Amino acid sequence: MAEREITSPVDLCRPDGRLDPQAVGWTRCPLHRANLRGWGRAKRWEYWGVVTDRFCLGLTASSLDYAGVCAVWVLDRETGRTWQHDAVPPLARGVSLPPDLGGIARVDAGGLHLELSVSRLRATAPGIDVDLAVEPGGESLGVVVPWSSRRFQYTVKDVGRPVRGTVRLDGTPYDVVGRAVLDHGRGKWPYAITWNWAAGFPEGGGSAVGITLGGKWTDGTGSTENGLFVDGVLHKIGDELAWEYDRSDWLRPWRIHGPRVDVRFEPFHDRADRTFLGVVANETHQCFGHFSGWASTDDGERVDLDGLVGWAEEARNRW
Protein backbone atom coordinates (compact mmCIF):
# COMPACT_ATOMS: atom_id res chain seq x y z
CA MET A 1 0.00 0.00 0.00
CA ALA A 2 1.53 3.33 -1.08
CA GLU A 3 1.12 6.14 1.44
CA ARG A 4 2.25 9.72 0.95
CA GLU A 5 4.90 11.15 3.26
CA ILE A 6 4.21 14.75 4.28
CA THR A 7 7.31 16.86 4.92
CA SER A 8 5.98 20.39 5.51
CA PRO A 9 3.30 21.88 7.82
CA VAL A 10 -0.32 21.44 6.73
CA ASP A 11 -3.80 22.23 8.07
CA LEU A 12 -5.92 19.21 8.95
CA CYS A 13 -9.15 20.91 7.86
CA ARG A 14 -10.34 23.25 5.13
CA PRO A 15 -12.15 26.48 6.14
CA ASP A 16 -15.52 24.68 5.96
CA GLY A 17 -14.35 22.14 8.56
CA ARG A 18 -14.00 19.23 6.15
CA LEU A 19 -10.80 17.23 5.80
CA ASP A 20 -8.19 18.89 3.59
CA PRO A 21 -7.06 16.25 1.06
CA GLN A 22 -3.52 17.65 1.32
CA ALA A 23 -3.45 16.53 4.97
CA VAL A 24 -3.84 12.84 4.14
CA GLY A 25 -0.53 11.07 4.61
CA TRP A 26 2.07 10.37 7.26
CA THR A 27 4.92 12.23 8.95
CA ARG A 28 8.13 11.56 10.88
CA CYS A 29 7.46 14.50 13.23
CA PRO A 30 4.28 16.44 14.07
CA LEU A 31 3.45 18.72 11.11
CA HIS A 32 -0.36 18.83 11.11
CA ARG A 33 -2.27 21.81 12.50
CA ALA A 34 -5.41 20.27 13.99
CA ASN A 35 -7.80 23.12 13.16
CA LEU A 36 -11.01 21.22 13.94
CA ARG A 37 -14.29 23.10 13.47
CA GLY A 38 -17.81 22.27 14.55
CA TRP A 39 -19.21 20.49 17.58
CA GLY A 40 -20.62 17.08 18.38
CA ARG A 41 -18.41 14.55 16.59
CA ALA A 42 -14.98 15.93 17.49
CA LYS A 43 -12.75 13.73 19.65
CA ARG A 44 -9.56 15.09 21.19
CA TRP A 45 -7.20 13.27 23.52
CA GLU A 46 -3.75 12.81 24.98
CA TYR A 47 -2.97 9.32 26.25
CA TRP A 48 0.34 8.40 27.83
CA GLY A 49 1.17 4.79 28.62
CA VAL A 50 4.22 4.12 30.81
CA VAL A 51 5.92 0.85 31.74
CA THR A 52 8.68 0.52 34.35
CA ASP A 53 10.22 -2.59 35.88
CA ARG A 54 7.52 -2.53 38.59
CA PHE A 55 4.62 -0.39 37.36
CA CYS A 56 2.38 0.13 34.35
CA LEU A 57 0.59 3.48 34.14
CA GLY A 58 -2.08 5.03 31.95
CA LEU A 59 -2.85 8.77 31.91
CA THR A 60 -5.79 10.01 29.81
CA ALA A 61 -7.06 13.52 29.13
CA SER A 62 -9.83 13.64 26.54
CA SER A 63 -12.82 15.58 25.29
CA LEU A 64 -15.67 14.06 23.29
CA ASP A 65 -17.39 17.47 23.07
CA TYR A 66 -20.38 16.40 25.18
CA ALA A 67 -18.18 14.93 27.94
CA GLY A 68 -14.63 14.55 29.10
CA VAL A 69 -13.28 11.02 29.68
CA CYS A 70 -10.18 11.27 31.86
CA ALA A 71 -8.32 8.83 34.08
CA VAL A 72 -5.18 7.81 35.90
CA TRP A 73 -4.48 4.09 36.29
CA VAL A 74 -1.56 2.22 37.90
CA LEU A 75 -0.70 -1.48 38.03
CA ASP A 76 1.86 -2.88 40.46
CA ARG A 77 3.44 -5.67 38.43
CA GLU A 78 4.83 -7.34 41.57
CA THR A 79 1.57 -7.65 43.51
CA GLY A 80 -1.07 -7.32 40.78
CA ARG A 81 -2.79 -4.52 42.69
CA THR A 82 -4.28 -1.64 40.69
CA TRP A 83 -5.24 1.96 41.45
CA GLN A 84 -7.63 3.90 39.22
CA HIS A 85 -9.46 7.20 39.34
CA ASP A 86 -11.83 8.34 36.58
CA ALA A 87 -13.47 11.67 35.85
CA VAL A 88 -16.26 12.14 33.27
CA PRO A 89 -17.22 15.84 33.44
CA PRO A 90 -20.26 16.88 31.33
CA LEU A 91 -19.34 19.04 28.33
CA ALA A 92 -15.69 18.35 29.22
CA ARG A 93 -15.76 21.07 31.90
CA GLY A 94 -12.36 21.28 33.57
CA VAL A 95 -10.61 19.72 30.57
CA SER A 96 -8.23 21.89 28.54
CA LEU A 97 -6.52 20.38 25.49
CA PRO A 98 -4.10 22.32 23.27
CA PRO A 99 -4.87 22.21 19.53
CA ASP A 100 -1.46 20.72 18.74
CA LEU A 101 1.47 19.00 20.39
CA GLY A 102 3.72 21.36 22.30
CA GLY A 103 1.11 22.68 24.71
CA ILE A 104 -0.11 21.32 28.04
CA ALA A 105 -3.22 19.20 28.49
CA ARG A 106 -4.89 19.91 31.83
CA VAL A 107 -7.67 18.22 33.75
CA ASP A 108 -9.21 19.49 36.98
CA ALA A 109 -12.41 17.54 37.50
CA GLY A 110 -13.91 14.98 39.83
CA GLY A 111 -10.90 14.82 42.13
CA LEU A 112 -8.50 14.18 39.23
CA HIS A 113 -5.73 16.61 38.36
CA LEU A 114 -3.58 16.06 35.26
CA GLU A 115 -0.88 18.10 33.53
CA LEU A 116 0.48 16.32 30.46
CA SER A 117 3.10 17.66 28.06
CA VAL A 118 5.78 16.17 25.83
CA SER A 119 8.33 16.74 28.61
CA ARG A 120 6.45 16.13 31.88
CA LEU A 121 3.60 13.97 33.16
CA ARG A 122 1.88 14.90 36.42
CA ALA A 123 -1.20 13.30 37.96
CA THR A 124 -2.85 13.47 41.37
CA ALA A 125 -5.95 11.65 42.61
CA PRO A 126 -6.92 9.96 45.88
CA GLY A 127 -4.06 7.61 46.75
CA ILE A 128 -2.11 8.41 43.56
CA ASP A 129 0.61 10.97 42.83
CA VAL A 130 2.70 10.77 39.64
CA ASP A 131 5.51 13.11 38.57
CA LEU A 132 7.58 11.94 35.60
CA ALA A 133 10.07 13.72 33.36
CA VAL A 134 9.95 12.63 29.71
CA GLU A 135 13.24 12.69 27.80
CA PRO A 136 13.51 13.59 24.11
CA GLY A 137 13.14 10.74 21.65
CA GLY A 138 13.63 10.13 17.96
CA GLU A 139 11.12 10.20 15.12
CA SER A 140 7.41 9.66 15.75
CA LEU A 141 4.63 8.46 13.47
CA GLY A 142 1.89 10.91 12.56
CA VAL A 143 -0.89 9.79 10.22
CA VAL A 144 -4.25 11.03 8.98
CA VAL A 145 -6.90 8.34 8.54
CA PRO A 146 -9.70 9.42 6.14
CA TRP A 147 -13.07 7.68 6.33
CA SER A 148 -14.66 10.58 4.43
CA SER A 149 -14.38 14.36 4.10
CA ARG A 150 -16.45 14.72 7.30
CA ARG A 151 -15.01 11.81 9.33
CA PHE A 152 -11.27 11.54 9.85
CA GLN A 153 -8.60 11.17 12.51
CA TYR A 154 -5.13 12.61 13.01
CA THR A 155 -2.97 10.57 15.36
CA VAL A 156 0.64 10.76 16.54
CA LYS A 157 2.29 7.70 18.03
CA ASP A 158 5.55 8.51 19.86
CA VAL A 159 7.00 5.23 21.10
CA GLY A 160 9.56 4.37 23.77
CA ARG A 161 10.40 7.79 25.23
CA PRO A 162 12.64 7.41 28.34
CA VAL A 163 10.98 8.56 31.57
CA ARG A 164 12.09 8.90 35.17
CA GLY A 165 10.57 10.31 38.30
CA THR A 166 8.36 9.37 41.26
CA VAL A 167 5.15 7.41 41.71
CA ARG A 168 3.50 7.73 45.13
CA LEU A 169 0.78 5.22 46.01
CA ASP A 170 -1.17 5.46 49.26
CA GLY A 171 1.64 7.64 50.62
CA THR A 172 4.51 5.30 49.68
CA PRO A 173 6.99 6.82 47.18
CA TYR A 174 8.75 4.83 44.46
CA ASP A 175 11.55 6.11 42.24
CA VAL A 176 10.92 4.80 38.74
CA VAL A 177 12.72 4.58 35.41
CA GLY A 178 10.99 3.32 32.30
CA ARG A 179 9.59 4.05 28.86
CA ALA A 180 6.52 5.95 27.69
CA VAL A 181 4.28 6.06 24.62
CA LEU A 182 2.17 9.02 23.55
CA ASP A 183 -1.08 8.64 21.63
CA HIS A 184 -2.13 12.12 20.50
CA GLY A 185 -5.49 12.23 18.73
CA ARG A 186 -7.58 14.91 17.03
CA GLY A 187 -10.44 14.14 14.68
CA LYS A 188 -14.12 13.60 13.89
CA TRP A 189 -15.20 10.01 14.34
CA PRO A 190 -18.07 7.79 13.19
CA TYR A 191 -20.59 6.88 15.88
CA ALA A 192 -19.55 3.20 16.07
CA ILE A 193 -15.97 2.01 15.64
CA THR A 194 -13.65 -0.81 16.71
CA TRP A 195 -9.89 -0.60 16.79
CA ASN A 196 -6.79 -2.61 17.63
CA TRP A 197 -3.57 -1.00 18.73
CA ALA A 198 -0.26 -2.38 19.96
CA ALA A 199 2.87 -0.59 21.14
CA GLY A 200 6.14 -2.28 22.06
CA PHE A 201 9.43 -0.90 23.31
CA PRO A 202 12.53 -2.01 25.22
CA GLU A 203 12.18 -3.23 28.78
CA GLY A 204 14.36 -0.91 30.86
CA GLY A 205 17.47 0.19 28.98
CA GLY A 206 17.32 -2.31 26.17
CA SER A 207 17.96 -1.86 22.47
CA ALA A 208 16.52 1.18 20.69
CA VAL A 209 13.71 -0.68 18.88
CA GLY A 210 9.99 0.02 19.04
CA ILE A 211 6.77 -0.76 17.19
CA THR A 212 3.29 0.67 16.77
CA LEU A 213 0.73 -1.55 15.07
CA GLY A 214 -2.96 -0.96 14.40
CA GLY A 215 -5.94 -2.61 12.83
CA LYS A 216 -9.68 -2.59 12.06
CA TRP A 217 -10.31 1.15 12.28
CA THR A 218 -7.95 1.96 9.42
CA ASP A 219 -8.94 -0.95 7.15
CA GLY A 220 -9.82 0.17 3.64
CA THR A 221 -8.86 3.83 4.18
CA GLY A 222 -5.46 3.67 2.46
CA SER A 223 -3.73 4.69 5.72
CA THR A 224 -2.25 2.68 8.57
CA GLU A 225 -0.69 3.48 11.94
CA ASN A 226 1.97 0.79 11.55
CA GLY A 227 5.62 1.59 12.06
CA LEU A 228 8.96 0.17 13.20
CA PHE A 229 11.46 2.38 15.01
CA VAL A 230 15.17 1.50 14.95
CA ASP A 231 17.70 3.81 16.64
CA GLY A 232 15.19 6.65 16.52
CA VAL A 233 14.40 6.27 12.80
CA LEU A 234 10.86 5.42 11.62
CA HIS A 235 10.30 2.71 9.02
CA LYS A 236 6.68 3.15 7.86
CA ILE A 237 4.70 -0.05 7.27
CA GLY A 238 1.76 0.51 4.93
CA ASP A 239 0.32 -3.02 4.95
CA GLU A 240 -2.96 -3.83 6.67
CA LEU A 241 -2.25 -6.45 9.35
CA ALA A 242 -4.10 -9.54 10.53
CA TRP A 243 -4.90 -9.67 14.25
CA GLU A 244 -5.57 -13.04 15.89
CA TYR A 245 -6.64 -13.29 19.54
CA ASP A 246 -9.22 -15.02 21.72
CA ARG A 247 -12.01 -12.67 22.90
CA SER A 248 -13.09 -15.33 25.43
CA ASP A 249 -9.63 -15.39 27.05
CA TRP A 250 -7.70 -12.14 26.66
CA LEU A 251 -4.59 -13.55 28.36
CA ARG A 252 -3.98 -16.17 25.68
CA PRO A 253 -1.19 -15.29 23.20
CA TRP A 254 -2.02 -12.90 20.35
CA ARG A 255 -0.56 -12.90 16.84
CA ILE A 256 -0.24 -9.81 14.62
CA HIS A 257 1.15 -10.36 11.16
CA GLY A 258 1.54 -9.16 7.59
CA PRO A 259 4.18 -9.10 4.84
CA ARG A 260 6.63 -7.08 6.99
CA VAL A 261 5.54 -8.07 10.49
CA ASP A 262 5.10 -11.32 12.39
CA VAL A 263 4.61 -10.75 16.10
CA ARG A 264 3.57 -12.96 19.02
CA PHE A 265 2.29 -11.14 22.09
CA GLU A 266 2.01 -12.86 25.49
CA PRO A 267 -0.05 -10.86 28.02
CA PHE A 268 0.48 -10.79 31.76
CA HIS A 269 -2.41 -8.42 32.65
CA ASP A 270 -5.77 -7.46 31.13
CA ARG A 271 -6.96 -3.94 31.92
CA ALA A 272 -10.68 -4.18 31.17
CA ASP A 273 -12.83 -1.03 31.05
CA ARG A 274 -16.55 -1.05 30.30
CA THR A 275 -19.03 1.82 30.08
CA PHE A 276 -22.68 1.43 29.11
CA LEU A 277 -24.74 4.63 29.17
CA GLY A 278 -27.50 3.91 26.65
CA VAL A 279 -26.43 5.27 23.27
CA VAL A 280 -22.86 5.78 24.59
CA ALA A 281 -20.85 2.66 25.33
CA ASN A 282 -17.26 1.43 25.43
CA GLU A 283 -15.51 -1.86 26.05
CA THR A 284 -11.72 -1.88 26.03
CA HIS A 285 -9.30 -4.67 26.82
CA GLN A 286 -5.76 -3.31 27.05
CA CYS A 287 -3.48 -6.26 27.66
CA PHE A 288 0.05 -5.65 28.94
CA GLY A 289 2.74 -8.17 28.09
CA HIS A 290 5.82 -9.09 26.07
CA PHE A 291 6.46 -9.34 22.34
CA SER A 292 8.50 -11.73 20.25
CA GLY A 293 8.99 -12.05 16.51
CA TRP A 294 10.22 -9.64 13.88
CA ALA A 295 9.45 -6.65 11.68
CA SER A 296 11.36 -5.48 8.62
CA THR A 297 12.92 -2.12 7.78
CA ASP A 298 12.34 -0.17 4.56
CA ASP A 299 15.26 -2.00 2.93
CA GLY A 300 14.01 -5.44 3.96
CA GLU A 301 16.23 -6.13 6.98
CA ARG A 302 14.46 -8.19 9.63
CA VAL A 303 14.67 -6.69 13.13
CA ASP A 304 14.32 -8.91 16.21
CA LEU A 305 11.48 -7.85 18.52
CA ASP A 306 12.03 -10.51 21.19
CA GLY A 307 11.67 -9.14 24.72
CA LEU A 308 9.90 -5.89 23.92
CA VAL A 309 7.29 -4.92 26.52
CA GLY A 310 4.08 -2.96 26.02
CA TRP A 311 0.45 -3.66 25.24
CA ALA A 312 -2.05 -4.84 22.66
CA GLU A 313 -5.68 -3.80 22.84
CA GLU A 314 -9.14 -3.98 21.40
CA ALA A 315 -11.56 -1.07 21.88
CA ARG A 316 -15.22 -1.05 20.83
CA ASN A 317 -16.92 2.33 20.99
CA ARG A 318 -20.36 3.83 20.46
CA TRP A 319 -19.71 7.52 21.02
- Res 275: pLDDT: 81
Lowest mean pLDDT among 161-165, 188-192, 252-256, 273-277: 273-277
Q: Which amino acid is at 87?
A: A
More confident residue, 2 or 3: 3
Dump pLDDT digits (tens) for 27-49. 999 999 999 998 878 999 999 99
- Res 207: pLDDT: 67
Dump pLDDT digits (tens) for 243-299. 999 999 999 999 999 999 999 999 999 999 988 777 778 999 999 999 999 999 999
- Res 299: pLDDT: 96
Going by pLDDT thresholds of 50, 70 and 90, the confidence category of residue 99 is confident
Lowest mean pLDDT among 85-99, 157-171, 196-210, 238-252: 196-210
* 23 φ/ψ angles, rounded to the nearest 5 degrees: -85, -10
pTM of the model: 0.96
Please say if the pLDDT value at position 102 is more than 80. Answer: yes
Dump pLDDT digits (tens) for 7-21. 999 999 999 999 999
Positive or negative: CA dihedral 143, 315, 239, 295: positive
Average pLDDT, the chain: 96
Protein fold of 18-318 = AttH-like fold (2.40.370)
- Res 196: pLDDT: 98
- Res 259: pLDDT: 98
- Res 281: pLDDT: 86
Going by pLDDT thresholds of 50, 70 and 90, the confidence category of residue 69 is very high
Cα 146 to Cα 131: distance, rounded to the nearest angstrom = 36
In the predicted model, what is the mean pLDDT of residues 120-124? 98
Give the percent of the chain with pLDDT over 90.
Answer: 91
